[in-house]
Amino acid sequence: MFPQWSILAQDQISLLLELTVDQVQMQFEDILGFKKHQTCLKEAAILDYFVAGFWWAKEMNFNCQQISFIMALLQLLLDNLKDKQMPFSENIKAFTQNLLTTRKSSADTNVKPLFDRDQIKSITDYFKSGLFQHYRLYQFLFTHPRNEMLQGMERNIEVVNAGVFAAPLEEGIPSEVYLRYIAPAPETPPPQELEECLEKHEEEPGESEQREGHTILEDFSVEDVREVLGEMTKEMLTKLQAEFTEKLRIQEESYTSRLDSLKSEVSK
């Protein structure tokens, strides 16, 4: 006498009542044949539509016949919207007519109403908030195709060379911290270049030399030259650090005097 959901029999519905909501969703995925619901918005919306309706009917403590009617009503309204593109007023009229059939009773066949008045009110409130309140969204879902877009992003990571990296601003960190921990080490020429340099800069023979062709740097090894260059570099860095510190001190005094003058003007 009352419409029932043709997709599931009542004994199958009774088995679903023993499952969790995640297990119910997995069963509905197989029942409805939705294999792309994780990427397809239409399948995800319909799956959520039926799972939410079934779980609401379960929490209302409806029996299997009542749940089957709720699922059939969900299916009918969705088909009217998706296939027939039924307007809102006609679809809500179909909802009302099917819901009123559940209040009919027959003395000849001992058929009682399927729902009482309170249950009818709860069903009306659920369909109002679940389907009819979002009717235009469902219309848009079924009437406007969704373009499939493959989105990606390519990123290139460039490693910064410390030798050409810009030095920090003067007000960023103290100069001694920069020179000690951040500044790149001074480059020293390879031993081969040092030997070639020594060969090019030969000194002319002097009066005290025993033979010609002797140079000033002839008696020095490569390690000696490296040591001298290292000491010279250290002295140059020390002078630069002192000059940098003095500049910072002068700037600090200048900023302090400006702040003091601003404070005095504000106080006036």
At 195-245, the pLDDT tens digits run 666 566 554 444 444 444 445 555 667 677 777 777 888 888 888 888 888
Q: Where are the domains of the chain?
A: 10-143, 175-204+215-267
Q: Which residues contact 69 (CB under 8 A, 6 or more apart)?
A: 2, 3, 4, 5, 102, 114
What CA–CA distances, in Å, run from 115 to 60, 106, 248?
12, 14, 86
Q: Which one, of 51, 34, 52, lies nearest residue 43 by Cα?
A: 34
User: Quick one: pLDDT at residue 262?
Assistant: 76
User: Quick one: pLDDT at residue 90?
Assistant: 92
Residue at token pair 């080490």 = 185
Residue 186 has pLDDT above 90, yes or no: no
Q: How far apart are CA 97 and CA 108, in angstroms?
A: 23
Residue 55 has pLDDT above 90, yes or no: yes
The answer to whether residues 34 and 43 touch, using CB atoms and an 8 Å cutoff, is: yes
Beta-bridge mates of residue 111? 106
**Structure tokens given for 107:** 């003395």
Q: Which residues contact 178 (CB under 8 A, 6 or more apart)?
A: 167, 168
Bigger pLDDT: 175 or 22? 22
Q: How far is CA 5 from the centre of its chain?
A: 41
DSSP symbol at 144: S
What CA–CA distances, in Å, run from 67 to 28, 108, 126, 160, 223?
15, 25, 14, 65, 93
- Which of 44-53, 88-97, 177-186, 235-244 shows the lowest mean pLDDT across its residues? 177-186
